[in-house]
C-alpha cells in the first residue's frame, strides 16, 4: 500500500477512509493481518493491523521488508493516445521502471487534455503491484516543443523513430545516463517535429525493429531495451 505517513520501527500509521475501505471491506483483512507499506522514502515495511473499522483504521510497523530503492534514472515522454491505451502506457512504464512520466502534446496528438489525477492513480497502483517503493510522478500534458526548449541537455533523449527501419537497436554502447525515452503519437511526429528532433544534439534516434509498433507497444519495447542495456 502506498501511503504518505512516515514509516519506522513501531510507527503507528493511520489510514485514509479509502485505504481502510480497501483493506477491510474489499480485502477483508482483520486485526493482526499483515500489510506491505511504502511511502517513497523509508523503504518497504511490513505492518500489522491494530484497528480495523469501516472507514478508518490503524496499522503498526513491524519490520522493514526492503530498503528504499533509488528509482531508475529514466523518464518517459509520450504522446497520449486513446484513454485506455494511455492508462496502459502509464501503468506499464511504472512497472517496467520509469522515475517520471511526462505526457507531451505534438502535432498529431489525439487529445488536447489528459486526466492527470487518473493517470497518477494508475502509477500508484502499478507501484503497489510491482512492489516498488516509489510512485513515479505523472506530469500534466505539455507541448513537446516547449518542453524541448527548456530541456536540460545533460539528460539525453532516446527517440524511438519508426523511420529507422531495421533490427531493434542494441543500446549497450550508450553512456549510463540520465536518459528519457520519447515515443510519438499514433500518427507519428510531423515532418517539422522530426526535423527539429534530428537537429537537437541531446536526442539519439533508435529503432525498435522493422515493424511499426503501436505507441503502447513501443513504450514497453523501448523501456525494456533501455533496462536490459543500461538500467537496473
Ligand atoms: N504514424 C506512423 C506511421 O504510420 O509510420 C507510426 C507511428 S507509431 C504507431 C507510434 C510511435 O511508436 C512512433 O512515433 C514511434 O515513437 C514508436 N515506434 C513504433 N514502431 C517503432 C519502431 N519500429 N522503431 C522505433 N519507434 C517505433
Same domain, 105 and 171: yes
Same domain, 62 and 171: no
pLDDT of residue 86: 94
Ligand 1 centre from 231 Cα, in Å?
Answer: 23
pLDDT of residue 67: 87
Same domain, 170 and 121: yes
Residue whose Cα lies nearest atom 13 of ligand 1: it is: 184
Same domain, 172 and 200: yes
Same domain, 188 and 91: yes
Same domain, 210 and 104: yes
Give the domain extent around 58.
Answer: 12-66
**Greatest Cα pair distance in the chain:** 61
Same domain, 79 and 55: no
Reading phi first (left if > 0) and then psi (alpha if -120 to 50, else beta), residue 120 is in alpha
Instruction: Write the DSSP assignment of 19-64 as a string of letters.
Output: HHIIIIIIS---TT-EEEEE-SSS-EEEEEEEEE-SS-EEEEEEEE
2 in any annotated domain = no
Mean pLDDT by 10 residues, the chain (232 residues): 90 94 94 91 92 94 88 92 93 93 92 89 87 86 95 96 88 87 95 96 95 96 92 74
Q: Write the CATH number for 198.
A: 3.40.1280.10
Q: From 66, 84, 111, give the residue that closes a domain.
A: 66
The domain total for the chain is 2
Same domain, 146 and 200: yes
| Model confidence pTM above 0.80 | yes
Q: Write the CATH number for 52.
A: 2.40.240.20
User: Using a 6 Å cutoff on CB, does residue 183 contact ligand 1?
Assistant: yes
Q: Name the nearest CA neighbour of 31 among 66, 63, 58.
A: 58
38 in any annotated domain = yes
Ligand 1 centre from 7 Cα, in Å?
Answer: 43
Per the CB < 8 A criterion, the answer to whether 47 and 35 are in contact is yes
Q: From 49, 66, 83, give the residue that closes a domain.
A: 66
Q: How many CB atoms lie within 10 A of CB 119?
A: 24
Ligand 1 centre from 50 Cα, in Å?
Answer: 51
Burial of 228 by CB count in 10 Å (0-12 exposed, 13-18 middle, 19+ buried)? Answer: exposed
pLDDT of residue 204: 94
Q: Which atom of ligand 1 is nearest the CA belonging to 206? A: 25
Same domain, 60 and 93: no
Same domain, 107 and 211: yes
User: Using a 6 Å cutoff on CB, does residue 186 contact ligand 1?
Assistant: yes
**Strand, helix or coil at 225?**
helix
pLDDT of residue 232: 67
Which residues lie across from 61 on neighbouring strands? 47
Amino acid at each position: 500500500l502506498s501511503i504518505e505517513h512516515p514509516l519506522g520501527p513501531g510507527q503507528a500509521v493511520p489510514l485514509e477512509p479509502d485505504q481502510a475501505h480497501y483493506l477491510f471491506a474489499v480485502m477483508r483483512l482483520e486485526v493482526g493481518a499483515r500489510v506491505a507499506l511504502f511511502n517513497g522514502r523509508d523503504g518497504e515495511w511490513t505492518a500489522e493491523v491494530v484497528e480495523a473499522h469501516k472507514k478508518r483504521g490503524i496499522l503498526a510497523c513491524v519490520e522493514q521488508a526492503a530498503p528504499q530503492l533509488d528509482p531508475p534514472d529514466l523518464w518517459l515522454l509520450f504522446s497520449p493516445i486513446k484513454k485506455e491505451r494511455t492508462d496502459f502506457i502509464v501503468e506499464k512504464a511504472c512497472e517496467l521502471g520509469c522515475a517520471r512520466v511526462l505526457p507531451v502534446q505534438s502535432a498529431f496528438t489525439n487529445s488536447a487534455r489528459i486526466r492527470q489525477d487518473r493517470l497518477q492513480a494508475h502509477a500508484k497502483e502499478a507501484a503497489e503491484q510491482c512492489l516498488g517503493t516509489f510512485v513515479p510522478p505523472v506530469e500534466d500534458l505539455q507541448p513537446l516543443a516547449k518542453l524541448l526548449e527548456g530541456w536540460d541537455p545533460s539528460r539525453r533523449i532516446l527517440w524511438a523513430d519508426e523511420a529507422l527501419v531495421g533490427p531493434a537497436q542494441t543500446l549497450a554502447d550508450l553512456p549510463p545516463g540520465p536518459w528519457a525515452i520519447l515515443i510519438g503519437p499514433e500518427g507519428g511526429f510531423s515532418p517539422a517535429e522530426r526535423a527539429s528532433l534530428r537537429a537537437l544534439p541531446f536526442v539519439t534516434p533508435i529503432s525498435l525493429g522493422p515493424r511499426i509498433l503501436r505507441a503502447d507497444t513501443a513504450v514497453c519495447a523501448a523501456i525494456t531495451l533501455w533496462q536490459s542495456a543500461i538500467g537496473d
